Structure 1
Amino acid sequence: MTDRRTGGGLDRAFLARFAREAGRPGSVVTWLNHWSLLHADPPALSQMQLIGFDGTLLQAVLTRHGHRFGRSSADLVLPIILDEVLAPGDPVALIGAAPGVAADTAARRLGGRPTMAFDGYGELSALQADPSSLTGFNPRLVIVGLGAGLQERVALQVHEWLPDAAVTTAGGWIDQLGRAEQYFPDWVHRLRMGWAWRILHEPHRLLGRYTVEALQFVAASSVLVKQLEGIGPFNELGIDRR
């Protein structure tokens, strides 16, 4: 794999630690921002072993409620898992994205390691009906990049099928990987402008997420924080139920 820098101003040691924990066999990990918390499936979310937090708005609200943790996200942690936690020959499965994206461009960017991919449409339905192709492949890591709520439910299904695999959600990371090895430039991470970068590149899909739905999140934030507090203890990684 080529250069996978984490971006200036980020705590590289913390991200490496998060990657080691998320890449452990049997782990089930997800990340939240304000939008994914608004659209979460609470029962599925409550079964995640480790929950990291990304997104300036959600982090600010949680900090105001007295919670302290490091910043992480799928696009920052997954490259470290792939490059430094997994062995070069460890197989990886991708679940999500539009037809052809995971199997074609994204899989080719994983450095030639054994890869199996299922899109988030008909192939996902077929996989849920019969997971034998995935279980036979026996991946060391399964990356599930679907919508909020759905990706946690699918991650839990995968964990049942493959209890010794590491399973992480990824949001839109598979689509992003299909576009570029490093979707966000370093300066975007350094200045915490990922929301602006995404609006610029995906305005029709994301403008409402960072305007109308951001206001909806603020209005519901007290209830949502209590929901998170009920899931499990906070530590420097996020919510850690292991």
Structure 2
Amino acid sequence: MYDILSLDDDDARLDLVRMAEGRVNIRDQQELVRRIIADCRAGQGGTVFTLNLDHLVKLRDHLHFRAAYQRATYVSADGAPVVVMAKDLGEPVERVTGADLVAPLCHAAAAAGVPVFLFGTGDFIRDKAAEHLLAESPNLIIAGSESPPLGFDPTGTAAREAAERISASGAQICFLALGAPKQELFANMAVCRSPNVMFVCVGAALDFIAGANRRAPSLWQRAGFEWAWRVLQEPRRLTARYTRSLLYYFRYRLRGGDDRMLRVERRRKQDAPSPIRHL
């Protein structure tokens, strides 16, 4: 399904689109999987974020979260509203969520001999997710797996030590299931200590894979109402978050998407330094 053996060197892009403090530089899932595997085979690490409305809300006020996003290697559009916002700005991108990314990326990693690491959520959930991933991709190499301690500071001493363990494991892809903004802050710090590891932020993906949480039916996902399903599943935890997100989106639409002038050049010359990797 994925051509993991080749990647045109001159096909590297600047951001496809910027919206407020957010940015997207990945058009679809196939492109993202292809680029991650190509980078891993070249010994190049980085960070992978999936932009949604909750992130856009947090990006307004969280300086370190903003800095992590600006340094991210790859950013996809996670959620129907972000896809609509990108389309309004002239860029038709597809929705690529962390939950949708794990299985195909593990399949590609298994085919390429790229070891992975699972970091975050609970031990039981992580172990069950590993079982499912190995059942789907028997050749997958899981180099390590661990949960952070309670009160985990994503940039503190324990985080730095965890980053070093991930690097020492030989993993080239690390799935981070910590939730935002903790996973993005950890990834931004960890890649400096583990420059050969691609840190992929996947939120609740391992919980879905393990069956600990039920994901929205595909019809709800296609209709753009996965957020509503999640609120129904966890109303006390998620109602306030999605209320803030919806208010943000409605204000954005009422303003007529006034970030239209934030588009940037789509492509750069082959020999130009990457503005993403060299921040």
Superposition pairs of residues 25-174 of structure 1, within 5 angstroms: 25=40, 26-40=45-59, 41-87=65-111, 90-97=114-121, 99-111=122-134, 113-122=141-150, 124=152, 127-131=158-162, 132-174=164-206
Change (3 A) 1:157 1:102: farther
Change (3 A) 1:217 1:192: closer
- Tell me the TM-score normalised to structure 2 length: 0.66
* Length, aligned pairs only: 223
**Which stretch has the larger CA shift, 190-199 or 41-50?**
190-199
> Separation in 1 of the partners of 2:266 and 2:230?
28
| Post-superposition CA distance 1:181-202 (Å, at most 9, x none) | 9834433333333122212222
Asked if 1:18 corresponds to 2:18, the answer is no
Q: In 1, are the aligned partners of 2:175 and 2:199 still within 8 Å (CA)?
A: yes
Change (3 A) 1:182 1:18: farther
Q: Provide the secondary structure at the position in 2 that maps to 1:93.
A: strand
1 or 2 for the larger relative contact order (CA 8 Å, sep ≥6)?
1
**Which stretch has the larger CA shift, 82-91 or 30-39?**
82-91
Stretches of structure 2 lacking an aligned partner (at least 5 in a row) = 1-26, 60-64, 268-274
Aligned partner letter, 2:239: L
| Post-superposition CA distance 1:92-140 (Å, at most 9, x none) | 212222x324543223322064242232434955642423432221212
User: What residue in structure 2 maps to residue 8 of structure 1?
Assistant: none
Q: Which runs of 4+ in 1 moved over 6 A?
A: none
Quote the offset at 1:180 in angstroms.
5.9
Please tell me whether Structure 1 or Structure 2 has the larger radius of gyration of its CA atoms: 2
Aligned partner letter, 2:146: F
Change (3 A) 1:234 1:170: farther
User: What residue in structure 1 maps to residue 19 of structure 2?
Assistant: none
Change (3 A) 1:114 1:61: closer
- Tell me the TM-score normalised to structure 1 length: 0.75
Aligned partner letter, 1:60: V
Stretches of structure 1 lacking an aligned partner (at least 5 in a row) = 1-12
> Separation in 2 of the partners of 1:22 and 1:34?
24
**Which stretch has the larger CA shift, 39-48 or 187-196?**
187-196
